[in-house]
A and B are shown apart, each in its own frame.
Chain A
């Protein structure tokens, strides 16, 4: 009643009143001011990008053609990158599931465990995998293993939160129905909760695999093995033709994993 003639049946304003117009202009100015200070703070100097572009072109020129003859030597680090992602994701999934059960409000056995699990998830997620990799490199030395550890730990946080949300959104009907038949807690869990949420969990897991493959490249830069480490080495030695080969291999791997992950997610949906 109060919205009267200026509103449609759904309550959308048909014509903006002067007050609304002034508010919009004000919001626009605020957004512009925020963007302006961000440019200033980040020291944005487009001029130097233009004047320095010949340096980039020089590097590009020196990286063509890619050193395809070195392809066989790239295979092993490429496989290493894939394997870091596979082991990291698998460990992450296996560790995240029990944590997610504790961190889902509707199935958690006790409140202290709920808060504990939420804290572990928040901590492992808040610390970037790059930082985890640096920590693990100092602990276990260079190579793929610290990469695996970093991805596992970071994945626990990312997956744990998503898994907990899936469990909280689950249809409780079948769970209650089975509990009423006289089935015990463990049986209700394996026969109703797990079949209810497993497809979603697998889908999220495959999505994580895709993410982890891309992340494992970055982890190589801090010494955690794989293609990233090769990339860093080649750049330090100014072997730009090797760098471009590595980038092509990376691109293909990422594309393939994206496709594979999407296909697997469709299958379990």
Chain B
């Protein structure tokens, strides 16, 4: 169904059952290739955010495997998990920047995982990373804000800085959990365009949870539909018109 070649991320038969016995994910399988932009669509409670959180190991799936590069993320702990996470960046609905630090310090903090020294543990940032961070800020077009406090940014700017921080992590995939949900339409286009460019030009895979089918169609290579914890379609963006996308959002409670 999807492009052949070596998968970067390979989710196989993942299920997630909460303590209250609710089945949030039911046997979900999904693969992402390098440089591919995949969007997950679905209504609230469809399990799409849970899937992303399981991949980032913010939650431990109750069954299945999640291969990223050479590792099965579900089997890793502690130091190994931290190292495996280097290649896997995540952005959220909110930028989650440290508001009182400068923009450039926020970006450079994304690379801390590569520099586990006494000095960084005491709050210092490596000079080399601060210098490189200007390049990452340049990628999102915000070098002129480098010395401003992150708390002074607009929502769209903050989200672009968050992407810049993700780049400092030098990721092979960016997981984006509703990255434009709290942005105005223009800022949303900017952020989606930026993610698209990172996928096309830098070969960074993007796995993005969205609520807007229209944005998904324009920016993604592939679109995955989820409903009630199950994957109900996995199509290319071009096939989008022929699918019943509205069905994703029909009430299941009725």
Q: Flag A189-229 by CB within 8 Å of B: 1 or 0 each.
A: 01110111011000000000000000000000000000000
Q: Which of B86, B92, B98, B120 contacts A182 (CB 8 A)?
A: B86
* Chain B residues within 8 Å of A10, by CB: none
* Chain B residues within 8 Å of A176, by CB: 58, 96
Say whether A174 faces chain B, with CB atoms less than 8 Å apart: yes
Cβ–Cβ contact A191 & B85, under 8 A:
no
Q: A180-B90, A182-B83, A186-B121 are in contact. Are A173 and B112 (CB under 8 A)?
A: no
Q: How many residues on the B side are at the interface (Cβ–Cβ under 8 A)?
A: 32
Q: How far is the CB of B113 from chain A (nearest CB, A)?
A: 3
Per the bound structure, the CA–CA distance linking A176 and B111 in Å amounts to: 15
Cβ–Cβ contact B98 & A183, under 8 A:
no
Per the bound structure, the CA–CA distance linking A260 and B113 in Å amounts to: 41
Q: Flag B103-119 by CB within 8 Å of A: 1 or 0 each.
A: 00000011111101000
Say whether B71 faces chain A, with CB atoms less than 8 Å apart: no
Cβ–Cβ contact B112 & A181, under 8 A:
yes
Instruction: Give 10 new A-B contacts, CB below 8 A, not counting A178-B112, A182-B114.
Output: A173-B94, A174-B97, A177-B96, A182-B112, A183-B82, A190-B123, A191-B120, A191-B123, A195-B100, A199-B100
Per the bound structure, the CA–CA distance linking A259 and B98 in Å amounts to: 30
Cβ–Cβ contact B116 & A177, under 8 A:
no
- Most chain B CB atoms below 10 A, which of A177, A191, A198: A177
Per the bound structure, the CA–CA distance linking A169 and B20 in Å amounts to: 27
Q: A182-B82, A196-B98 are in contact. Are A177 and B90 (CB under 8 A)?
A: yes
* Chain B residues within 8 Å of A186, by CB: 121
Q: Which of B85, B92, B122 contacts A181 (CB 8 A)?
A: B85
* Chain B residues within 8 Å of A236, by CB: none
Cβ–Cβ contact A183 & B96, under 8 A:
no
Q: How far is the CB of A192 from chain B (nearest CB, A)?
A: 6
Q: Which of A181, A187, A192 contacts B98 (CB 8 A)?
A: A192
Per the bound structure, the CA–CA distance linking A192 and B120 in Å amounts to: 12
Q: Which of A173, A183, A198 contacts B92 (CB 8 A)?
A: A173
Say whether A184 faces chain B, with CB atoms less than 8 Å apart: yes
Which residue of chain B has the shortest Cβ distance to A268 in the bound complex? Answer: B100
Per the bound structure, the CA–CA distance linking A90 and B92 in Å amounts to: 39
Per the bound structure, the CA–CA distance linking A267 and B111 in Å amounts to: 31
* Chain A residues within 8 Å of B56, by CB: 180
Per the bound structure, the CA–CA distance linking A125 and B244 in Å amounts to: 64
